[in-house]
Chains A and B, each alone.
Chain A
């Protein structure tokens, strides 16, 4: 790992050095020594990937995944023990009891989003749901329609599904977003064409937590008879979402973002007015022919239980997450200058459990690597292996240096106030330490505007 890390960092260093040759010496020192503070010698320490940890880090990455709620596991276990039947077996008790459990779960999912149980199709997760919605609508309506609208800040699986269709002759409009990540309705209206089949806009962004104006988009789509799909993986179970009120025709749901199991999700498909899809999976015709393959009863039961718990606990969860957000953001911004919130300030437009902060005058990798006692990410988990700054932050127009130093703090049902307080202390201390070593920070303290410096290559 050390070798690998060294290589990766050296590559990053090489890339950065080209742009900051004057500061190269001290910056690379900071990178190698500050990123890995002296490991504390303690009994029972853990070593993973060449990094010594004193204990399990505090988990503050709730957008990547959430822990399973114990109530969810409790609901699933019977279906992993005696009640193992195939829910599609029609000839014996094993099948019947599994089918009952699956149908109960379907009703629980539907109830959370204000849908009819018949409108819920179980899938393997939000990625499959997004693929199914976009490619499915495109496949069914390909004779009459040719155009899809989405935004630049969507999840990779939406963007990639759209690319796939582009290669097959579809036109795709990738709408830009404003500085705080919101989609302008005027842009959407201007992009609509008579042959537009689908608008796909996510409910809550996974990197910056921005909430899109779903109801307005839904109304606009309905007026023009265009289907509206929303990737609601980060929203369902966390904020109230009603498919009827918001005019949503298709909605993707993920199990493991709402304290349910991984490997299961759902797609809401409106029945009135009916949305037709071309199946993406051929086989035994399960899920009304839309998604063949045996429905994984234990996972689906878990998804249903997670939705049921989320519905009951939503108000308490939301109040808790709001308190934590104020504590985290207030704690960091009151003690550090040069901290920028990516995404909207106003909590009417942002999910408070997602706090994406950029720290000026530090280096991104050293920042994350030094915070080994907190499990956070620089952006989406899917792209966390790359050193490229996030495309979402780039679409927002965040400057290159700030995009490199973003940290996404994810808060949720099982995050404690104490964890947030310690995360604030650790982040503040670490950023201060990195800045104390940084020649750039020294210049800033002397009142030099970094943008006025012209770096010379030599």
Chain B
């Protein structure tokens, strides 16, 4: 079973990847997953009966993060070279704010 510190660290990594992944939709998904999982684990790991399921969920969350990290490289190489409409709007808004 993970410690509270391990849970915090994993969720922080999800949120960080949710800012850097090369694809807009997967960024938004990682951000959501990081927050939702953090809420789910916030109450601490469940005891007794639910423990095996919780253990499996934790392992899956760790494995998923590793897969997403590897795929960030794949998306970096093979992803679309131009941005989505929403990203362009974000850029324009940021530019307007800065200038």
Knowing A59-B25, A71-B64 touch, does A418 contact B86 (C-beta < 8 A)?
A: yes
Main secondary structure, interface of A, reads: mixed
Within 8 A of B (CB), among A399-452: 413-416, 418-419, 422
Within 8 A of B (CB), among A32-46: 42, 44, 46
Once bound together, how far apart are the Cα atoms of A54 and B71, in whole Å?
26
Within 8 A of A (CB), among B60-96: 60, 64, 67-68, 70-71, 74-75, 80, 82-89
Q: How many residues of B contact A (CB 8 A)?
A: 26
B26 contacts the other chain (Cβ, under 8 Å)? yes
Once bound together, how far apart are the Cα atoms of A73 and B83, in whole Å?
22
Q: How many residues of A contact B (CB 8 A)?
A: 27
**Contact assessment for B60 and A54 in the assembled complex, using a CB-CB cutoff below 8 Å:** no
Once bound together, how far apart are the Cα atoms of A57 and B80, in whole Å?
12
Q: CB within 8 Å of A: which residues of B?
A: 24-26, 28-29, 32-33, 36, 57, 60, 64, 67-68, 70-71, 74-75, 80, 82-89
Collect the chain B residues with CB atoms within 8 Å of residue A18's CB.
none
Main secondary structure, interface of B, reads: helix
**Contact assessment for A74 and B85 in the assembled complex, using a CB-CB cutoff below 8 Å:** no
Collect the chain B residues with CB atoms within 8 Å of residue A419's CB.
86
Collect the chain A residues with CB atoms within 8 Å of residue B25's CB.
59, 67, 414-416
Once bound together, how far apart are the Cα atoms of A316 and B87, in whole Å?
25
Between B26, B67, B83, the greatest number of chain A beta carbons within 10 A of the residue's beta carbon is seen for: B67
Contact indicator per residue, chain A 291-327, by CB within 8 Å of chain B (1) or not (0): 0000000000000000000001000100010000000
Q: CB within 8 Å of B: which residues of A?
A: 42, 44, 46, 54-59, 67, 70-71, 73-75, 77, 312, 316, 320, 373, 413-416, 418-419, 422
**Contact assessment for A71 and B86 in the assembled complex, using a CB-CB cutoff below 8 Å:** no
Q: Report the nearest B residue to A53, measured CB to CB.
A: B85
Q: How far is the CB of A21 from chain B (nearest CB, A)?
A: 38
**Contact assessment for B28 and A416 in the assembled complex, using a CB-CB cutoff below 8 Å:** yes
**Contact assessment for B70 and A74 in the assembled complex, using a CB-CB cutoff below 8 Å:** yes
**Contact assessment for B88 and A54 in the assembled complex, using a CB-CB cutoff below 8 Å:** yes
**Contact assessment for A316 and B36 in the assembled complex, using a CB-CB cutoff below 8 Å:** yes
Contact of B84 among A58, A74, A316 (CB under 8 A): A58
Extra pairs beyond A54-B88, A56-B80, A373-B85 (8, CB < 8 Å): A46-B82, A55-B87, A70-B26, A71-B68, A74-B71, A414-B28, A422-B85, A422-B86
**Would you give 13 A-B contacts (Cβ < 8 Å), ordered by A?**
A56-B82, A59-B25, A70-B67, A70-B71, A73-B74, A74-B70, A77-B74, A312-B57, A415-B25, A416-B29, A418-B86, A422-B86, A422-B89
Once bound together, how far apart are the Cα atoms of A75 and B36, in whole Å?
24
**Contact assessment for B71 and A73 in the assembled complex, using a CB-CB cutoff below 8 Å:** yes
**Contact assessment for B84 and A414 in the assembled complex, using a CB-CB cutoff below 8 Å:** no
Q: How far is the CB of A276 from chain B (nearest CB, A)?
A: 38
**Contact assessment for B74 and A57 in the assembled complex, using a CB-CB cutoff below 8 Å:** no
**Contact assessment for B82 and A55 in the assembled complex, using a CB-CB cutoff below 8 Å:** yes
Collect the chain B residues with CB atoms within 8 Å of residue A67's CB.
25
Q: How far is the CB of A48 from chain B (nearest CB, A)?
A: 11
Q: How far is the CB of B33 from chain A (nearest CB, A)?
A: 8
